[in-house]
Amino acid sequence: MSLINKIENRNANIGVIGLGYVGLPLSMEFVRAGFNVTGIDIDSKKIESLKNNNNYIQDVKDQELFEAIKKGKFIATSDFSVLKNLDTISICVPTPLNKQKDPDISYINNVIKKLRNFIHQDMLIILESTTYPGTTRELILPELESIGLNVGTDFFLCFSPERIDPGNKEFGTSNTPKVIGGITQHCIINGAALYKTIVDKVVSVSSPESAEMVKLLENTFRAINIGLANEMAIMCEKLGVDVWEVIEAASTKPFGFMKFSPGPGLGGHCIPIDPHYLSWKLRALDYDARFIQLAGEINTSMPNHVIHLIIKGLNKKQKSIKGSKILVVGVSYKKNVNDVRESPALDVINLLNNNGALIYYHDPLVPSIQINDEKIDGQKDITSVFLSSIDAVVILTDHDCIDFNFIAKNSSLIIDTRNIIKNKNANIIKLGVGN
């Protein structure tokens, strides 16, 4: 039976490598489509959590996950030898940046070294991890073909960028179009056939390089426009203008404008990282990606600007930042999620610590954080008595589950980076608003 027939009949054994924010939701989509799925991860804590019915991904429904495990529709393991029994492999491992802001593709390399020991006839391999254009063809293909199999006939190789947006209630995996590009046409056909079982629309492009570039364009577009919004906020402060009013008014234009909001910096698993993959690749071709670099400079400077606003507010109260009690509200990188990867709140906390402030934080979705290898527990109960002892409150994430009205009513100084507090008050300093 051909691979496509196996896929169409739901007889294909599906494998997902990397059971994080991308891999676990993807696994559940395949289970929902009627497949048996094997998830592989080198993190033994994740495997044990899943075996003990502990769900660590907010966007995956507990009951659906536990039912799939109970029925044997989803199996989690750290044993890569199961690859020999799988028909398709989706690789969803991390691709962070190293200290020099260069791509770290060691996770992909480690997976491919293991995969080449178990690759077999008619196996479909799809890389979903964000990477630089050329990775699939230049890095993965030679490694897999080195054992004597031919791509497009013996096995199939594709790239399909993940489009996960944690916490998004409107768009999930199934109703977000899936882009795919393969080494050969047969690769594209087989890859598209697989993803058509779980998404409403598959968009095929001519090559893995095009698919790799799609992901980088999407997030570079966002990084640059957020950088523009952040710089606009700083300019509005200097001009005595309210940037939030400007943005809202501009967004009423029905064409030629897309709304982006300023904030304390960039966070998450994609936007702060992906543009660096593109600029790194272009540097190798002796090209300077100036827009990316400028946006990066602006966005990474925003935590320092937040500290400037805090100091400005404390100075009005004739207080020094050193020794002041600062409450940080919201430490996840975006609203209504528990994800702190690359969160600018961590940078703000580090800077506050360096300036000698006494730091507390409140985030109902994030009970503890790691700062310089030190575990810090969040402040669970926010009472009026507690707030009266705080010198400044810094709003960095606008969770729906936080009572901002109560915080505003009981705080003597607020630095609002998210335009949460709507009423005008001399004790409120807003990012992007001239004072």
20-52 pLDDT tens trace: 999 999 999 999 999 999 999 999 999 999 999
Per-residue pLDDT at 423 exceeds 90: no
The fold of the 3-206 domain, in CATH, is: Rossmann fold (3.40.50)
Query: Among all chains, which residue has been given the structure tokens 């400037």?
Result: 308
Quote the CA–CA distance of 146 and 142 in Å, as a whole number: 6
- Confidence band of 318 (pLDDT split at 50, 70, 90): very high
The C-alpha angle with vertex 224 and arms to 245 and 362, in degrees rounded to 5, equals 65
Residue ranges in 146-289 assigned as alpha helix (H): 185-195, 208-239, 243-250, 274-284
- The dihedrals phi and psi of 74, each to the nearest 5 degrees, come to -135, 125
C-alpha distances (whole Å) from 118 to each of 54, 112, 123, 147, 398 are: 30, 10, 10, 10, 46
Residue 276 is predicted with a pLDDT of: 86
Residues of each domain in the chain carrying CATH 3.40.50.720:
3-206, 243-430
pLDDT tens for residues 341-395? Answer: 999 999 999 999 999 999 999 999 999 998 888 889 999 989 999 999 999 999 9
260/272 Cα distance (integer angstroms): 15
Whole-prediction pTM value? 0.92
- The model's pLDDT over 136-194, given as tens digits with 9 standing for 90+, comes to 999 999 999 999 999 999 999 999 999 988 888 899 899 999 999 999 999 999 999 99
Whether 270 is catalytic? yes
Q: What is the DSSP letter of 167?
A: T
Beta carbons of 314 and 357 less than 8 angstroms apart:
no
CATH 3.40.50.720 for the 243-430 domain, yes or no = yes
Q: Which residues pair with 170 in a beta bridge?
A: none
pLDDT at 245: 96
Q: By three-state DSSP, how is residue 66 classified?
A: helix
Nearest to 111 by CA among 134, 86, 90: 90
And the tokens for 114?
Answer: 């293991």
> Which residue matches tokens 């030629």?
256
Indicate which residue of 92, 158, 187, 270 is catalytic: 270
- pLDDT score, position 133: 95
